[in-house]
Structure 1
């Protein structure tokens, strides 16, 4: 922590000294018994001002909230009053919003900052994330974790016991517990007496959309002479043949056509495993197409996505609302429009 606090003091000093009207009289680490980690004494327009800083190694919203409460108490004994400042290696936008909510300034080592007092207003926002944090964020959306998230988002108001969530999602107890911890740390979920419940499903879905990577698959392009109702009927027949094992489903724009129509696309999309691919080949009379394809089948390497399908009409197996939304959100401008339409129609949750 001492090295971290020294780095925090250096970052704070560099920021303050870049403002010509601020004169830094003293800035350093406080004694071990102090309730704050760094104290800066400033001279601004002839007036003495203090910045009292708390330094933490983790900037997850849950940890930030607890630290902000302690920091607010710690600054009450200063005369003249001290401005509380929270410092961490990285503060997400959610953590920054918490600091603003508590009226606490903040600074991180990437350059995000907000410090205000008297007529001074310092605010800086950067878009980069630490590589390790970026990897950690993406890990919560990997296939096994995604199975847990899809189960939670299917009914955000439900409280889940870990064992029930494990059984429903088809994921081990240990992995569910890891996902649970990540969600709680980011304040996307809360633990109640009844179990784990999503507290901010929209924030979770936004973050998933922004970090989304399509499921690992082999993308195969085909051409069929079928179209319109004849193609829909043949596809439903193929899905019906294999639906007991969930081997093929409508995906992307094709799933959205059944869930929340937003214009018709000339290309039809499916997720399938090897058995589902064979069924689709036979039913739709598919022929390989190097160009001019009107059927795309993504043959999945991981079949967890089949744990969460919906049936908007008899024999119509589609990717879940969340999965369809995510796939559309990365499908270009038209896909983003269709994704937003689906979200407004079917993924609007009570605040």
Structure 2
């Protein structure tokens, strides 16, 4: 294959590295890599594209392999490379990026930058993400395109493009034909990971400060005052985690999404907060089209972002964001 030949050329251009592809050299191996006084048989898996949608399946296969696995792909996202490297899976892509960590041998080569290309597929960001979230939040349901579009608040054409892409990735399965055709989510974990990978943060953030005896009192007061002011909102971040899947952690800042038509300065006045440039304990956030408010839920009188959106938001915390997000996924999301 053209791609495999190119990969062999790249590897053989590395000084003191030899690659043998004779299957008879080591039983069951696709190739043997020699270098730095070592000889390592490897299993090779070739893919057209590797991203969050299929990376976990590759990792699962690699864990069952009797020898190190190297994945060769024409296209591979940075997130997929990192996930595979963390599990000891080698990667080589069509841009010349190489990550091999074999017994006694470490190879890392940075390839060329990807060429900009016209966006033709429905990436799971912005309005498209509403389709993904709808399916994730009701993962056992099968959908007509029109029903899914209406539920997500998007056009049938956009819903169809998203479903078509997810079908191509084998994340969604189809049943029936014509007007009766329905789609069902069959790989929720893959869809969730793909959405997380393709999400783009377009938020506007407004820091503020309010006096409060405790952070929990602060969160309750902010939400109560927003409700009284008639502002559509949803609590997010660590304060929301504490209500959905409690974890032992501090809550230095209360984060809240506001509807796009709200004026943050006016909202601060209405809830008794002062706008600040440093040291905030409240952060008001807005995003075009109010996507973060989609599928919000109410718990004990407080509006919260949906659990999938909450995962996205808490990951931004540079302190314990990854830990909190992993905890939420395990305890409340489930895939």
TM-score, scaled to structure 2: 0.66
Q: 1:154 to 1:225 in 2, by over 3 A?
A: same
**Structure with more of its chain in helix, by fraction:** 1
- Larger mean CA deviation between 290-299 and 188-197 belongs to 188-197
Deviation at 1:176, TM superposition (A): 0.5
Q: 1:268 & 1:296 partners in 2: Cα distance?
A: 6
Would you say how many aligned residue pairs link Structure 1 and Structure 2? 275
Q: 1:136 & 1:125 partners in 2: Cα distance?
A: 30
- Larger mean CA deviation between 317-326 and 330-339 belongs to 330-339
Say which SS state the counterpart of residue 340 (structure 1) adopts: helix
Q: 1:236 & 1:43 partners in 2: Cα distance?
A: 65
- Report the equivalent of 1:28: none
Matching of residue 332 in structure 1 with residue 318 in structure 2: yes
Q: 1:129 to 1:20 in 2, by over 3 A?
A: closer
Which runs of 5 or more residues in structure 2 are unaligned? 32-45, 55-70, 82-90, 99-106
Q: 1:266 is matched with which residue: 249, 252, 272?
A: 252
1:107-156: CA deviations, max 9, x gaps?
8633589xxxxxxxxxx998879746998599522211111111111011
Give RMSD over aligned pairs.
4.3
Whose Rg is larger? 1
Matching of residue 253 in structure 1 with residue 238 in structure 2: yes
TM-score, scaled to structure 1: 0.63
Q: How does 1:156-305 map to 2 (within 5 A)?
A: 156-193=139-176, 195-214=182-201, 216-228=202-214, 230-241=217-228, 247-262=232-247, 263-272=249-258, 273-275=260-262, 277=264, 280-305=267-292
Say which SS state the counterpart of residue 187 (structure 1) adopts: coil
- Report the equivalent of 1:81: none
Q: 1:8 to 1:300 in 2, by over 3 A?
A: closer
1:304-324: CA deviations, max 9, x gaps?
33231011222x111110000
- Report the equivalent of 2:6: 11
Say which SS state the counterpart of residue 320 (structure 2) adopts: helix
- Report the equivalent of 1:309: 296
Which runs of 5 or more residues in structure 1 are unaligned? 24-41, 65-85, 97-105, 114-123
Q: 1:296 to 1:11 in 2, by over 3 A?
A: same
Q: How does 1:333-348 map to 2 (within 5 A)?
A: 333-348=319-334
Deviation at 1:160, TM superposition (A): 1.0
